[in-house]
Amino acid sequence: MAEEEDGLESFRSDVRTWLVENFPTSLAGRGAALMSAETIDSTEGDAFVWGQRLGAQGWATPTWPAEYGGGGLTQHQARALNQELDRAGAFNPLVRTTGMGITMVGPTILEYGSEDQKQRHIPRICRGEVFWALGYSEPNAGSDLASLSTKAEDKGDHWIVNGQKTWTSGADHAQWIGLLVRTDFEVAKRDGISFLMIDMNQPGIETRPIQLIGGESPFCETFFNDARAEKDEMLGDLNAGWSVGKRLLQHERQSQTGAISGVGSGKRKSLKDVAKEYVGVDVEGRLADPDLRSRLTAHLMDAKAHSLTIARVTAEARGNAKVSAAASILKNAASNVLQQRAELTLELMGHNGVGWEGEGFSKDEVNAVRNWLTGKAMSIYGGSFEIQNNIIAKNILGLPENTQRG
């Protein structure tokens, strides 16, 4: 154990030295702002240089196998790396600039992909060279995803894809998309689905951004009109896409629990500081409103418990890439914590927390109301709150299956 701790300290020292030599000081502490912006400069400037260096080192994907461009680190080393990144005010821009590549597509390719698929796709994700989108939901297949109708027809040496997807995050920026398609209409609906990886740079694909109430347009409608997918770009077996797709969603939920570190460093104002600034304190330094004080304390306890639970789950994983149904619990918990924080922030700011634009509101105040609106979607995307509860009931609590079939 002492030898392992010594090795970890040596690794930390190496990370600190590398950060001094490679992390642009102009980015220190700006991770949260850059990663939450509608766009991030990924083609030039210090953010681009930093992303290239981090990717070349393999530390944008620290636990992925080194032979494919990952860091090859243990879970303990990866955690130490993220702690050192935080300490330096650094962050991992490739989590954002690869779209769904690092958080969802890459881990699924590592598990289901052929050796050729891993060699072709994983190194480019590790280096941040490709932005991935995902095509799951359709206008008539949301929570009932198995009802999807986008189809892929076998044309011998390739597939031809026709149909429509919606809520495809970042599709207007993506170079590649992972797509659930129907390849057999004669079997039970979950048994006739396959997972294809498709090059977006072709005339048969059209994207239309969808503007949200928070002012951003992160989602698209995506149309496939005789789009082409190569035969060797099917992930997993023919008509086994339901299993591949479910596995990918587990990785998505894992990424939404707060367990993926290095997403965006940089300190944001704590709720306690927001309360002191907008509400004020009594002579004893406490919030004068006991009800507000009680609810704020309860939220901070929930947030701390969530953080400690993630740390425990991460430690217990010991580098194992498998994701369990427990990710559904953490995803719902993360939704609650995020939405509670947003609600409390607006309440603390009072009328200053409901401004949309104008000189009368600070940047933090405008962001507060936009984050409040945007955060409402967290309990819907990636599998709704209710869907997660069904997974928890079935796979963790062992309760009977519901009456739905398909």
Packing angle, helices 326-349 and 271-278, rounded to 10: 20
pLDDT tens for residues 334-389?
A: 888 889 999 999 999 888 888 888 888 888 888 888 888 878 877 777 667 787 78
Question: Are 120 and 138 part of one and the same domain?
Answer: no
Q: Is residue 149 part of a domain?
A: yes
More confident residue, 160 or 142: 160
Question: Are 285 and 350 part of one and the same domain?
Answer: yes
The catalytic residue positions are 252
Q: What is the DSSP letter of 104?
A: I
Question: Are 121 and 140 part of one and the same domain?
Answer: no
Structural domains in the chain (count): 3
As given in the structure block, the two tokens for residue 48 are 């681009």
pTM equals 0.75
pLDDT tens for residues 273-296?
A: 888 888 888 888 888 888 888 999
Question: Are 164 and 282 part of one and the same domain?
Answer: no
Question: Are 99 and 141 part of one and the same domain?
Answer: no
**CATH number of the domain to which 328 belongs:** 1.20.140.10
386: containing domain: 268-396
Instruction: Find the range with the poorest average confidence among 42-51, 70-79, 186-195.
Output: 42-51
Question: Are 101 and 136 part of one and the same domain?
Answer: no
Question: Are 114 and 12 part of one and the same domain?
Answer: yes
pLDDT tens for residues 64-76?
A: 999 999 999 998 8
Question: Are 147 and 61 part of one and the same domain?
Answer: no
More confident residue, 261 or 242: 242
**CATH number of the domain to which 234 belongs:** 2.40.110.10
Mean pLDDT of 47-59: 94
What pLDDT, on the 0 to 100 scale, is given for residue 308?
Answer: 80
Q: Is residue 292 part of a domain?
A: yes
Question: Are 136 and 203 part of one and the same domain?
Answer: yes
What pLDDT, on the 0 to 100 scale, is given for residue 151?
Answer: 97
What pLDDT, on the 0 to 100 scale, is given for residue 7?
Answer: 83
Q: Is residue 255 part of a domain?
A: no
Instruction: Find the range with the poorest average confidence among 52-66, 118-132, 244-258.
Output: 244-258
Q: Is residue 249 part of a domain?
A: no
C-alpha Rg value of the chain to the nearest Å = 22
| Residue 334 and residue 381 in contact, taking contact as beta carbons nearer than 8 Å | no
Residue 74: phi and psi, rounded to 5, are -75, 165
Mean pLDDT of 183-197: 94
pLDDT tens for residues 192-223?
A: 999 999 999 999 999 999 887 766 777 899 99
Q: Is residue 256 part of a domain?
A: no
Q: Which of 77, 93, 126 is the last residue of a domain?
A: 126
Instruction: Find the range with the poorest average confidence among 6-20, 109-123, 251-265, 335-349.
Output: 251-265
* Distant-in-sequence, close-in-space partners of 90: CB < 8 Å, separation ≥ 6: 19, 23, 27, 28, 31, 50, 265
Q: Is residue 54 part of a domain?
A: yes
Question: Are 323 and 366 part of one and the same domain?
Answer: yes
* pLDDT reading at 322 higher than 50: yes
**CATH number of the domain to which 42 belongs:** 1.10.540.10
More confident residue, 249 or 295: 295
Strands 151-154 and 132-135: unpaired
Question: Are 364 and 380 part of one and the same domain?
Answer: yes
Determine the Cα–Cα distance for residues 81 and 265; give it in Å rounded to an integer: 13
What pLDDT, on the 0 to 100 scale, is given for residue 316?
Answer: 60
* pLDDT reading at 88 higher than 60: yes
Q: Is residue 247 part of a domain?
A: no
Smallest CA-to-CA distance from 116 within 72, 73, 71, 68 is with 68
Q: Is residue 38 part of a domain?
A: yes
